[in-house]
Structure 1
Amino acid sequence: MIIVTGGAGFIGSNIVKQLNNKGRNDILIVDDLTDGRKIRNIEMLDFADYIDYEEFDIAVEQNTFDCGPIEVVFHEGACADTMNYDGRYMMKNNYEGSKNLFHYCQERRVPFIYASSASTYGHGTNGFREDPVCEQALNPYAYSKLLFDRYVAKFRNHLQLQSQCVGLRYFNVFGPNETHKDKMASLVRQMYYKLMETGEITLFKGIDGYGDGEQTRDFIYVNDVVNVNFYFWEHPEISGVFNCGTGHAHTFNEFMKAVISFAGKGEIRYIDFPEVLKGKYQSYTQADTTKLLAAGYDKGFTPLEKAVHEYCALLRDNEGYVK
C-alpha cells in the first residue's frame, strides 16, 4: 500500500494521478474533506481507500493504525495558509501530526517523504541552501515546517534513522488541482480568469528595492515536484532535507507575461503593496539545487512558459483540473 496524506489536496492529488499513470492504484488517501471542493481533485482518480485525517492521526498516535504492508508514505497533508496566525492549531496539525507519522514509519521501516517549505528561509538574507544559517520563520506555518525539519535532523545527525526520511522544501509550486486554495493558489490560477474577464492582470508595485512586478520567485511546476518525490522513492538509500525548486528565479512580470502570451491579449496593472504583508513577504526566492543535483536528480525542470501554457490550457478546457 502507498499512503498519500493530503491526497485530495493540490500536490497530493497530483502524486496520486502520477501513481495511476504508473499503473498503481493500491493507494490510501488521507485528507480532510471539510472543504468539499477537493472532491473534484480525486473523483476521477483510482485508489484503494480514503480515510479522514483526524481519524488517521489518532490511530497513528495510538499505534493502532493498520492497513497491511506499506511501501512508502508521501506526507503532503498540512495547513499551508501562510496567513493563518493560529500558532496552536498550526503546531498541532503540521508539527505534532508529522512527528507521530514519522515515528510510526520509523518503527516499521517505511520510507517517509514529506513536504517541507521554502518559507523556512524567511527573507532569504543568507541564501536558500539547506543550512541552519539560512533558516528563518516569518509566520507560524513556516515555523511548524522548520521545527519539524529540525526534529528529524536530530535523528539523522545521530544516525538513528531506521529507514529513509526525506524532506522536500517546496518553492513556489503551481499547476492543476489548486482551485480550492483560493488566495493561496498560484497567480496563474488567480489571474487567468481575471484576465479573461477584465483584460488585465494586477501585480504589486515595487517594494524592498524591487521595481513594479519585479519581485522574483523560484516557480516550479507541480509535475516536476512529483518527479522529485518519485526520484527519492526510487532511491530509498537517500535521506535528508532537499530544496525542491528549479534553481532559477523569475519575476512576477515574466510569470504573468506567460499567461498573457497564452491568452493572446491583456496588460499588467500595478497596485499598492498591502500593509498587512509588509515584513512578512518574500520578495526573492531561488532554490540552491546543489544538494538535490548531488543526490543524483537528473530529470530537469519544465521551462516556465511551457508549464504556464500547459496549465492555462487546463484552466481553459477543464477548469484547472488534471485530465
Structure 2
Amino acid sequence: MIIVTGGTGFIGSNLVRALNQRGERDIVIVEDLKRPADPRIVASLAFAQLVDYRDFVADLPAWEGRGVRAVFHQGACSDTMVHDGAYMLERNFVFSLRLFEFCLGRCPLLYASSAAVYGRGEAGFREEGECEWPLNAYAFSKYLFDRHVRGEEKRRGGFQTQVVGLRYFNVYGPQENAKGRMASLLFQFHAQALEHGKLRIFAGSDGFLRDFVSVDDVVAVNLDFLEHPERSGIFNCGSGTARSFQELAELAASHYPGPDGTPGACGVETIPFPAQLAGRYQAHTLADLSRLRASGCTVPCTSLEEGVSRYVEVLQATGGYHPPAAVHPNPGK
C-alpha cells in the first residue's frame, strides 16, 4: 500500500497516475473532503481508497498493520495569499508532524516542501539555513517543518527509514485545474488566449525570472528517491535554469491564434503590477541542484520549450486534464 496525501490535487494526481503506470493500484489518497475534488481529475486515477485527512489522522494507529510501503505527502494549503497563520500551521505543519511520526522507522516519507522558504532569494537558493527567509504564512509553515526534520535528524543521528523533502520551484503541467489563482501562468495564459486572443503579464515581467519545472520532472524525482531508500535529506526540485515571465508568455503565445484566427499570432499585453503584491513577490528563483545531483539523482530536466509545447497540447486537447484511468477508482475497496 502507498499513501498519497493531496492525491487529487495537481502534483499529487500526477504522482498517482505515474504510480498507476507502474502497475500500482493499492493506493490510498488522503484529501480534505470538505473541498470537493475535481471529478475529471479523480476519473484519471486508479486507487483503492479515498480518505479525509481528519479521519486519517484520528485513526493513524489503525494504519500501522496495513502494510504501508511509502507515504508521499503532497497535501497542503498552497495559497500564498492566505494570511491565517493558525490555519496554515494546522494544515501544513501539524498534519505533517503526525505523518512524520507515523513514518519514522516504519516506511519512507517523501514530502513536498517549497522554494517559497527562500523568500526573495537574496542569500541564494541553497538548502541551508542562511538562505531561508520565508515571506508569508505558507512559506513559514513549510520552513517550520523542514526545520523540524533537520532537528530530528541531528538529534537522532540520522533516520532509520527514508525522509525526503523536495523544495518545488515553479511547477507547471496537466491537472492544475483546481488551483484557481495559484495555477501556473501557462494555465492562466490558456484561458486568456481563448477569451481575448492575447496574453497578459505584469509590467516588468522581462525582469521577473523563475525556475519553471515540468510536473513530469517533479514526479520523476519523487519516484527516483522512492527507488533509492538509502537517500534522505532536503533537496531543491527545479530545472536549474531561470527564465523570464516575458519569455514564458512569448513561448505560450506562439502556440495560439490571434484574435483574427491567424496561427501563432496571439499577442502579449502588459498590465500594471498589483499593489498588494509589492514586497511579497519573488523577483527571481533559481534552484541550486548541487545537493540533488550529489545525492545520486540524475533525472534530466525538460527544457521550457519542450515543456510548454507538451502542456499547451494537453490544454488545447482536454482543457488540461489527463484521460480517464483504465481502472476506475473504487473508494470502497
TM-score range, shorter chain: over 0.9
Aligned partner of 1:155 among 147, 152, 168:
152
1:319 aligned partner, one-letter code: G
3-state SS of 2:255 partner: helix
Partner of 1:31: 31
Partner of 1:50: 50
> What are the within-5 Å matches in structure 2 for residues 1-323 of structure 1?
1-60=1-60, 63-66=61-64, 68-107=66-105, 109-158=106-155, 159-206=157-204, 212-263=205-256, 264-323=264-323
- Alpha-carbon distance in structure 1 between the residues aligned to 2:266 and 2:65: 51
Q: CA deviation at 1:34?
A: 3.2
- Alpha-carbon distance in structure 2 between the residues aligned to 1:39 and 1:87: 30
3-state SS of 1:243 partner: strand
3-state SS of 1:169 partner: strand
CA RMSD, aligned part only? 1.2
- Alpha-carbon distance in structure 1 between the residues aligned to 2:158 and 2:231: 14
Per-residue deviation, residues 101-128 of structure 1 (Å, max 9, x unmatched): 1001114x21000000000000000000
Residues 8 and 37, structure 2, Cα contact 8 Å, conserved in 1? no
- Alpha-carbon distance in structure 2 between the residues aligned to 1:37 and 1:238: 33
Q: In 2 relative to 1, CA 67–8 (structure 1 residues): closer, same or farther, beyond 3 Å?
A: farther
Q: CA deviation at 1:41?
A: 1.1
Gap runs ≥5 in structure 1: 207-211
Q: Could you state the TM-score of these two structures normalised by the residue count of structure 1?
A: 0.95
Number of aligned residue pairs: give it.
315
Q: CA deviation at 1:160?
A: 4.5
Q: In 2 relative to 1, CA 37–106 (structure 1 residues): closer, same or farther, beyond 3 Å?
A: closer
3-state SS of 2:254 partner: helix
Per-residue deviation, residues 216-264 of structure 1 (Å, max 9, x unmatched): 0000000000000001101100110000001100000111112111221
3-state SS of 1:36 partner: coil
Residues 156 and 240, structure 1, Cα contact 8 Å, conserved in 2? no
What is the percent sequence identity of the aligned residues?
Answer: 46
Gap runs ≥5 in structure 2: 257-263, 324-333
Q: CA deviation at 1:214?
A: 2.6
Per-residue deviation, residues 193-223 of structure 1 (Å, max 9, x unmatched): 21122111111112xxxxx433000000000
Residues 167 and 235, structure 2, Cα contact 8 Å, conserved in 1? yes
- Alpha-carbon distance in structure 1 between the residues aligned to 2:64 and 2:19: 22
- Alpha-carbon distance in structure 2 between the residues aligned to 1:69 and 1:254: 47
Q: Could you state the TM-score of these two structures normalised by the residue count of structure 2?
A: 0.92
Residues 215 and 283, structure 1, Cα contact 8 Å, conserved in 2? yes
Q: CA deviation at 1:321?
A: 0.7
3-state SS of 1:173 partner: strand
3-state SS of 1:236 partner: coil
Q: CA deviation at 1:301?
A: 1.0
- Alpha-carbon distance in structure 2 between the residues aligned to 1:247 and 1:178: 22
**Structure with more relative contact order (C-alpha pairs < 8 Å, separation 6 or more):** 2
- Alpha-carbon distance in structure 2 between the residues aligned to 1:260 and 1:92: 40
